[in-house]
Structure 1
Amino acid sequence: MGNRHWIGFDLSTFWEDSDYFTSPGPVTAEIILNAEQLLGYRLPSSYIELITNKNGGSPLNDCFPTLTSTSWSEDHIAISGICGLGGQWGIDSDDLGSRFMIEEWGYPNIGIVVCSCPSAGHDAVMLDYRECGPDGEPCVIHVDVEVDDEPRITFLAQDFEAFIRGLVNQEEYDNSEETKLLKQSEQ
């Protein structure tokens, strides 16, 4: 499989050293097909290429800017991990995967829960297939299930690759006095 999506993007420095959220074993064509059949959606090729590099994990850049406020912040969301395939953390896992999150936590049945957030299940990042259908290219949304009667959905990116490329380091949002003084001294 060629690297179509990640031209100019250094995947070797994308992931934290931790194996938390990493699924065991390599991503194979059979595992991809089984996950797609189980979940009922075609996985984006950019997602497949990313998890072929490392089968899920925690990215170094773990924040995504938003134009509207969420329960997390006025201007961004944070992720704790990107789910791969297989194992406890995989999107296809019976224990903690996408179907479990939809059935047990009340996430809308509109796609795949693909990223965990620090809230321990109260919000997550999903691939949203409502506009494109199960074989199309989904957009990426943030879903908060703990704020209203219905889950609150915030649009993040037109596709998975744009979402990953848009992640920034949490230091971008550190507003402590110490950080403000440090940034001023660097200018």
Structure 2
Amino acid sequence: MAAQIRADRHARPGRSAPRGRDTPPCDDRGTQRQDGRPWCTGRDAFPTSRPTSWAPDHVPFDFVMGIGHRDRALSLLESPYLVEEWGLPKDVVLISGDGHSWIGLDYRACGRHGEPSVAWFDADDDSGLTLAPDFRSFIEGLTSPGSPA
């Protein structure tokens, strides 16, 4: 069951997301660092079923946004602004990206208290691709670029 999220000064890292959404449950074994830094050493790509603007067979996942505000680092709390700025779907919490392409928790089908899928969004060509049905499946599916899926 997902934990209710509060984006305030009392929120604990790993338990907060913008707009009152619930974060998906996840076992974080194997994670090296987070909060805008590398996520899993040697597992920084997710295989795709079709080509994307990034590569013919994968999308990158080399960092995860932190929670809170830090100089020169994007934050989960900036999702509402970034979604509007880049014309992305409204019910998405971005977790990684560079402005032209993003990976986010997609709440469009499940609602604000459901378990979101994980999706790739390309702002330049206005396309998207569901990567995994949930965050745990996404993390378990991470691989190295060029590795067999």
Deviations 1:1-46 (A, max 9, x none): xxx9xxxxxxxxxxxxxxxxxxxxxxx993259944x423111122
Aligned match for 2:139, one of 161, 164, 169: 164
Corresponding residue number in structure 1 for 2:95: 114
Partner in structure 1 of residue 64 of structure 2 = 82
Confirm whether residue 42 of structure 1 aligns to residue 27 of structure 2.
no
- What's the counterpart of residue 45 of structure 2? 63
Q: Deviations over 1:42-74 (max 9, x none)?
A: 111228x57x98542212211100001111111
Indicate how the Cα distance of structure 1 residues 87 and 29 shifts in structure 2: closer, same or farther if over 3 A, else same: closer
The residue that corresponds to 1:138 in the other structure is 116
Q: Measure, in 2, the Cα distance between the counterparts of 1:40 and 1:134.
A: 7
Q: Secondary structure at the match of 1:153?
A: strand
Identity of aligned residues (%): 31
Q: Deviations over 1:75-107 (max 9, x none)?
A: 111123111211233201xxxx21121121222
Cα distance change, pair 169–86 in 1 and its aligned pair in 2 (3 A): same
Give the TM-score normalised by structure 1.
0.62
State the shift of 1:166 in Å. Answer: 0.8
Q: Provide TM-score, normalisation by structure 2.
A: 0.76
* Structure index of larger Rg: 1
Q: CA deviation at 1:132?
A: 0.9
Q: Secondary structure at the match of 1:168?
A: coil
Unaligned runs of 5+ in 1: 5-27, 174-187
1:103 pairs, out of 51, 71, 84, with 84
Question: Is residue 64–residue 76 contact of structure 1 (8 Å, CA) maintained in 2?
Answer: yes
Aligned residues of 1:41 and 1:111 also touching (Cα < 8 A): no
Aligned-residue RMSD, C-alpha = 2.9
CA distance in structure 2 between the partners assigned to 1:158 and 1:172 by the alignment: 21
What is the CA–CA distance in structure 1 between the aligned matches of 2:68 and 2:48, rounded to whole Å?
30
Secondary structure of 1:77's partner?
Answer: strand
Instruction: Give aligned pairs, total.
Output: 134
Counterpart-to-counterpart distance in 1, 2:47 and 2:33: 24
The answer on whether the counterparts of 1:31 and 1:85 sit within 8 Å (CA) in structure 2 is no
Distance 2:107 2:12 in 1: 18
For structure 2, the 5+ residue unaligned runs are 2-7
